[in-house]
Structures are given as C-alpha cells and as structure tokens.
Amino acid sequence: MNKVITILFFCLFAETGFSQNANPYSNTDKGQVYILWGWNRAYYTKSNISFKGDDYNFELAKVKAHDRPTAFSYHNYLKIDRITIPQTNFRMGYFIKKDLALTLGFDHMKYVMDQDQTVKMTGNIDRNGSYKGSYNGDKVLTEDFLTFEHTDGLNYINVEVEKYMKIYQSENNKFIVLGLAGGGIGFMMPRTDAKLLDYERNDEFHVAGFGVNSKIGLQLTFFKHLVIKFENKYGYINMPDINLHKKGINGTAKQAFFFTALDGMIGGTFSLNGKKKEIKSK
C-alpha cells in the first residue's frame, strides 16, 4: 500500500510540477518559518542484533520488533507534563528560498523487540547460569534471557531539506494544499531499556549511531497561519554502539534496520519578512 501511495504521489508531482511559483500566501516564500508538533506510528524491518561483553559474544538473526503507541486520552496526549510520553514529533523549518525549506526535527519513535519469538542464535555465553555455553541454532527470546527496547525512545535528531509545490489554493487564500518531498540525515540518541541475563537493566540516553531518510507529504494551511502536515517517511538506522548495562559494566549491542513512519503534525507558520501583500490566486 505504501508503494502505491508513493507512486500516485509522484505521478501528481509530475503532472503539476515543482516549477510552479507559489502564491505569496502559500507559506513557502523565503523567510517563512513554521513550528510543528505531532505524533507517529512506526514500522521496522527485521534486524540482526549483536551482543558483546566481558562474558558473552553472540548474535541474534532476523529479530522482529514493533512500535508502542500510547492509548489516546487527554491525560496522555495533551497534559503539558506528559506530551512527550507518546510517540511524538517536533519540527521547525525555515525557507531558504521559494519552495525550499531547511528543517530541524526530533522524531521520538519507540522500538520494542517481540518477546518469545524464535530466532537463530550464534556465539557463546561464559557467564555462570543456565544460559552458559555455545550456541548455533534456534533460540526462544524469553524475558529471563533478554528484553530489548528503545522506548524512551528511538530518538532520531535530524536535519532535512523539503521541496514544496502547490496543489490547491482557494481564491481567498484561506485554504492551501501543498505537496512536499524531502530527505534528511541525523544521529540516533536512544534511551535503551535492555535487560540481558541477570545483569541490571539499563535505560540511559546515549548517542548510538546515525540515520538517513527520505519522505513525501501533504500540508494543509488554514487562514494563512494554521498548519496541519502529514508525512510518510522512509529511512535507514544504523546503531553500532548501543549501551546495555549501567556505567562501569562492559557490554554493547549493535543493529541496523529500515523503517517507515507515518507522521501527523499541527502548528503555525509566520514570515520573518514582515507583512506580505496579498495577491489573489489565479
């Protein structure tokens, strides 16, 4: 379904073209600024996860994982002291030229390894206990062996470039529809909640790797300043330095995977160039 939507979207871009000039109130002129806040759903490919410490060195193959959306309620989503609890997005952008914006964003996704799945495990564990030994075969990921989550969260701090084009603009400029495409790069700063064997669980923020992404989207502007934006983001995450234990205990993991995220955001837009002269759309 995502591939179909992408093909249709770019067919629309080909039909209307990026070359159309935006109306002065299309909110895509040089000097325009926007600030947005919203929420996301994320989906991940399977990944190989390697674990290495003083008394273990093994790899789990094709591990499945899912996101963890928070149940919707006023308490969870709108209370000021809890708005960062769900899977959230923050983005601010500045138009460096007409229809081209440079943005800074924070994508707070959540990654949870599927518990009790069966994967192939290779390597060894030298720590005393029931899991000591060498492995080369199927392994059930029970809670007493491993829990592995980036739930506070899978934090992707990034810069992006966005290219806009006008799809529709009402005659009185009170409703504008824009399409966009873009891409970005950034670093991963997860707060990994992992418990391996009988080690104490870890949940500390740590710069673990990097991410790259592309995206397409649709922006609705109401009354020239209220913005609602929807994005479909595709990306690659590589984290070669994931903390597993508390400080002072040697132990890291590494993994890489692809993701897709559906983002919905709301916010405002304004110009740093002062009041513009309105021109009716033709």
- Residue 181's domain comprises 2-271
Residue 46 forms part of a structural domain: yes
Residue 112 forms part of a structural domain: yes
Q: Which of 168-177, 235-244, 249-258, 273-282 has the lowest mean pLDDT?
A: 273-282
* Tokens coding 242: 């994931």
Q: Mean pLDDT throughout 211-227?
A: 96
Residue 281 forms part of a structural domain: no
Residue 71 forms part of a structural domain: yes
The total of structural domains in the chain comes to 1
pLDDT tens digit string along 160-187? 999 999 999 998 889 999 999 999 999 9
Calculate what percentage of the chain has a pLDDT beyond 90. Answer: 72
Cis peptide before 153, with omega less than 30 degrees from 0?
A: yes
C-alpha dist (Å) from residue 103 to 183, 221, 245: 10, 18, 34
Cα 25 off chain centre by: 30
Neighbouring C-alpha atoms within 13 Å toward the C-beta of 17: 4
Residue 280 forms part of a structural domain: no
Report d(CA 141, CA 6) in Å as an integer.
36
Report d(CA 188, CA 207) in Å as an integer.
6
Report d(CA 33, CA 31) in Å as an integer.
6
Residue 192 forms part of a structural domain: yes
CATH code assigned at 186: 2.40.160.20
Report d(CA 60, CA 123) in Å as an integer.
9
* Tokens coding 178: 């824009």
Report d(CA 94, CA 34) in Å as an integer.
7
pLDDT tens digit string along 131-151? 999 999 999 999 999 999 999
Report d(CA 217, CA 176) in Å as an integer.
14
Report d(CA 52, CA 189) in Å as an integer.
20
Overall pTM surpassing 0.75 (yes/no): yes
Task: Residue 241: name the closest of 256, 226, 263 by CA.
Answer: 256
Residue 170 forms part of a structural domain: yes
Give Cβ neighbours of residue 35 (< 8 Å, ≥ 6 apart). Answer: 91, 92, 267, 268, 269
Specify which residues 74 forms β-bridges with.
Answer: none
C-alpha dist (Å) from residue 246 to 141, 148, 173, 228, 251: 22, 15, 55, 41, 9
pLDDT tens digit string along 106-123? 999 999 999 999 999 999
- Phi and psi (nearest 5°) for 12? -65, -40
pLDDT tens digit string along 2-58? 443 344 344 433 433 333 444 455 678 899 999 999 999 999 999 999 999 999 999
Residue 12 forms part of a structural domain: yes
